Amino acid sequence: RRRGTADASYCFYAGEMANSSLRRFDLDAALRRALDRGEFLLHYQPQVDLASGEVIGAEALLRWNRPGVGLVSPLEFIPVLESNGLIGAVGEWVLDEACRSCRDWQEFGGAPLRVGVNLSARQFRDGDVGAVARHAIDRSGLDPRLLELELTESIVLQDADSVIRCLRELRSDGIGTALDDFGTGYSSLSYLQRLPVDRIKIDRSFVTDLTSNPNSSAIARAVVGMTHSLGMTAIAEGVETEGQLGYLRGLGCEAMQGYLFSPPLPGDAFVNLLRDGCRMASGDAATEGKRILL
């Protein structure tokens, strides 16, 4: 009887395993076709200057429109693209598409609008990220200063010297860089000081409980202070409430992105937002933190 139970549970477990490896196989095959079939697209999340309330650019976020399924989150398929090596080809497509869109946004006047593009560790390991970015810039005709590559602390830590060399080259080409999800990794302050990056993105986890957890607010304050001492600017991720917005303004954080202003939008919806001149209230009206029309 005991044996029977054990066998039954083993079968159940084996079934689960088979299911998950089948699922993975299926996902892998579908992703291999996705690029050729044009199933990838980018959404753009507006980034807002906290002093002026104006949209200063957007982060490009990859989506997969999987036939019969709908939009799939990058958290689900980017790890697969990294492990099967497809991230190189998809990453090139992302850079091309983001640079082309950003060039088109410039016609909406006002200050030049930037685009942020996320990079994976594997893209640094396998290829020449600088060459791929320059190629995308050349093809699109975008001003290199309007492209900002986002990398994480883990990318830097895996091979600090070669990443720093690559960042220096990007900088000499005028391409901007940002350190994403800052505070979630393990980079030491001495690394940070050696890193030629322009912006620090304060991770959403610190922003979320900014007004309720003294530890988070202390970290956010320290990160903004350190960012400024190193001559960089700060942008907060995942701002969802007016309380968080007010606190970040008080810290002197330069910019934000988050659901409070807008979720990531399809390309045409982002263009409509630019066309309508949407901005966030600033100064005394700031606490409202609403999207208002000029």
The residues that touch Mg ion, with contacts defined as CB under 5 A, are 118, 150, 180-181, 237
Nearest distance in Å: CB 18, ligand C2E: 28
Q: Which residue has the tokens 């934000």?
A: 256
Question: Considering the rule CB under 6 A, would residue 94 count as an interface residue with ligand C2E?
Answer: yes
Q: Which of 259, 276, 283, 285 binds ligand C2E (CB under 6 A)?
A: 259
Nearest distance in Å: CB 60, ligand C2E: 6
Q: Which two tokens stand for residue 290?
A: 């609403």
Tell which residue, 107, 114, 69, 72, has the closest CA to residue 90. Answer: 72
Question: Considering the rule CB under 6 A, would residue 73 count as an interface residue with ligand C2E?
Answer: yes
Q: Which two tokens stand for residue 40?
A: 């990838």
Question: Considering the rule CB under 6 A, would residue 61 count as an interface residue with ligand C2E?
Answer: yes
Q: Which is nearer to ligand C2E, 8 or 243 (CB)?
A: 243
Residue 75: contacted member of ligand C2E, Mg ion, none (CB under 5 to 8 Å, by partner type): ligand C2E
CB under 6 A: which stretch of 46-54, 67-75, 104-112, 218-226 binds ligand C2E? 67-75
Report whether 167 contacts 194 (CB < 8 A): no
Cα separation, 211 vs 54, whole angstroms: 24
Question: Considering the rule CB under 6 A, would residue 217 count as an interface residue with ligand C2E?
Answer: no
Q: Which is nearer to ligand C2E, 74 or 196 (CB)?
A: 74
Cα separation, 252 vs 267, whole angstroms: 30
Cα separation, 42 vs 44, whole angstroms: 6
| List of long-range contacts for 283-286, beta carbons under 8 Å, 24+ apart | 286/53, 286/245, 286/246, 286/249
Give me the residues that bind ligand C2E (CB under 6 A), please. 45, 61-62, 73-75, 78, 94, 118-120, 150, 180-181, 204, 237-240, 257-259, 264
